[in-house]
Amino acid sequence: MNNEIYSNPLCERYSSKEMMYNFSPDKKFSTWRKLWIALAESEKELGLNISQEQIDEMKKNIYNIDYELAAKKEKEFRHDVMAHVHTFGTQAPLAMPIIHLGTTSAFVGDNTDLIQIKDGLQIIKTKLINVMNNLSKFALDNKSVATLGFTHFQAAQLTTVGKRATLWLQSLMLDLEELEFREKTLRFRGVKGTTGTQASFKDLFNGDFSKVEKLDILVSRKMGFDKRFTVTGQTYDRKVDSEIMNLLANIAQSAHKFTNDLRLLQHLKEVEEPFEKSQIGSSAMAYKRNPMRSERISSLAKFVIALQQSTAMVASTQWFERTLDDSANKRLSLPQAFLAIDAILIIWNNIMEGLVVYDKIIEKHIMSELPFMATEYIIMECVKAGGDRQKLHERIRVHSMEAGRQVKVEGKDNDLIDRIVNDDYFKLDKAKLLSILEPKNFIGFAPEQTEKFIDIEIKPILEKYKNLLGMDSELKV
């Protein structure tokens, strides 16, 4: 590691080897060479004068990339594609005359970008499925654990820990649906020429449009794509990049929402992310257990969400058949977005594998609020026993106001139940009141909803992708 130059934290600290490789020079430039080979093979199949020896020589040198020579050539030509054409030609001299035949730079550049997007989506999908699997287990394990609901972060009607987790899970389900759609509809640029008219191939194939169409289809299929753009300019439509970025940003939004909730719950000491034996929360405050993982996800998610604007601006400012003001931006935005989402899902999976629920703290918080929430139920019980609804309502209102004052002004515990027990008008003993205050009476159908959601929405997904389950969620740092 060279400590005298900037290193990207996404690579040094967060992302996986497989995602880093997907956007590495080795993947990029070996894919360029595979594209040139697919082009040569297809042109040969369609009758151009290309020998098998030339193709074999190229195949032998797919991964034999002389980066030093390529850098020297790029400095000389000020053109990265031609630098690599000449570098490849030096290693495969027989093939030099037919490398890149009829194409423009976007043939290797754009098609490689699309291959990296396709492979990147598969990596993301694998990690997404694993997070969903762990979230579904957590939801089912805690489907009946009553907890305070929060609206406006103020105590509201009870829900369950598991039901709340289904909301996080549902966001990821929607993200997966979008990812599947993007995978299904992703098109290859193919073989289109300098401005998309295939003019150079018209010359090569003596005006035979059907052969040029076959060339486009052959190359696309050899590179793993059934769908291709029927028309392009010099480049594929940059809306594709914007749509992919929107997908990645949607996943970032889901992750950020989850970590917001978890950080608030950890503050309440109800739920806590994993904390390792030797982990240090603060250099000064030795007792601290900070939600470091959640905060890291939050930080990376903000980065990806902000990148949405970048690809949108590129897509909206491409002139006519193309301008080059997309190039430097594309080198930065999409790879880093993929790396960041990869990291987010690794961290999220790590959290889910060690998430701790503190039932007693949750119960304590419930009982500090539930007496207020249960007042309507208490009134109904007393009315059934012959009480006057209006008088009951007024007496319980007065008791509630005083109990609330003591909690907020004097810092005392909520004594509303004791006040009601000691008020002879209610004619309820403490045992009866506590039976009314059983938390399970206030969670509605949360357990049933959790089970139903997992059964009808999530289990089919996990079954469909069961071959993707199982991943290393170890953090680098």
282 is catalytic: yes
Write the CATH number of the domain with boundaries 18-98.
Answer: 1.10.275.10
Return the pLDDT at 398. Answer: 93
Given the residues 152, 210, 267, 283, the one annotated as active site: 152
Q: What CATH superfamily classification does 375-436 receive?
A: Fumarase/aspartase (C-terminal domain) (1.10.40.30)
DSSP codes joined into one string, 317-330 = T--TT--GGGHHHH
Q: What is the pLDDT of residues 144-172, one digit of tens each?
A: 999 999 999 998 899 999 999 999 999 99
Determine the pLDDT at residue 286.
46
Q: Give the tens place of pLDDT for each residue, 18-44.
A: 999 999 999 999 999 999 999 999 999
Mean pLDDT across the chain, nearest whole number?
94
Cβ-proximal residues to 279 (8 Å cutoff; 6+ apart), any chain:
292
Residue percentage of the chain with pLDDT more than 70: 97
- Residue pLDDT, tens place only, 274-297: 876 555 555 455 445 899 999 999
What is the model's pTM?
0.93
Q: Given this model, what pLDDT does residue 374 score?
A: 85
Helix (H, G, I), strand (E, B) or coil at 151: strand
Q: What is the mean pLDDT of the segment spanning 320-342?
A: 96
Mean pLDDT of 393-406: 90
> In the prediction, which pLDDT does 296 show?
98
- Tell which CATH classification among 3.40.50.1820, 1.20.200.10, 3.40.109.10, 3.40.50.720 matches the domain 105-193+236-361: 1.20.200.10
Distance (Å, whole) CA 135 – CA 352: 7
Instruction: Report the pLDDT value the prediction gives residue 284, as an integer from 0 to 100.
Output: 55
**pLDDT tens digits, 47-92:** 999 999 999 999 999 999 999 999 999 999 999 999 999 999 999 9
pLDDT band of residue 119 (cuts 50, 70, 90) is: very high
Active-site option among 7, 51, 79, 282:
282
3-state secondary structure the chain: CCCCCCCCHHHHHHCCHHHHHHCCHHHHHHHHHHHHHHHHHHHHHCCCCCCHHHHHHHHHCCCCCCHHHHHHHHHHHCCHHHHHHHHHHHHCCCCHHHCCCCCCHHHHHHHHHHHHHHHHHHHHHHHHHHHHHHHHHHHHHCCCCEEEEEECCEEEEEEEHHHHHHHHHHHHHHHHHHHHHHHHHCCECCCCCCCCCCHHHHHHCCCCHHHHHHHHHHHHHHCCCCCECCCCCCCCCCHHHHHHHHHHHHHHHHHHHHHHHHHHHHHCCCEECCCCCCCCCCCCCCCCCCCHHHHHHHHHHHHHHHHHHHHHHHHHCCCCCCCHHHHHHHHHHHHHHHHHHHHHHHHHHHHHCCCEECHHHHHHHHHHHHHHHCHHHHHHHHHHCCCCHHHHHHHHHHHHHHHHHHHHHCCCCCCHHHHHHCCCCCCCCHHHHHHHCCHHHHCCCHHHHHHHHHHHHHHHHHHHCHHHCCCCCCCCC
* Sequence spans of domains, the chain: 18-98, 105-193+236-361, 375-436
> At 381, is the pLDDT very low, low, confident or very high (cuts 50, 70, 90)?
confident
256 is catalytic: no
* pLDDT at res. 2: 82
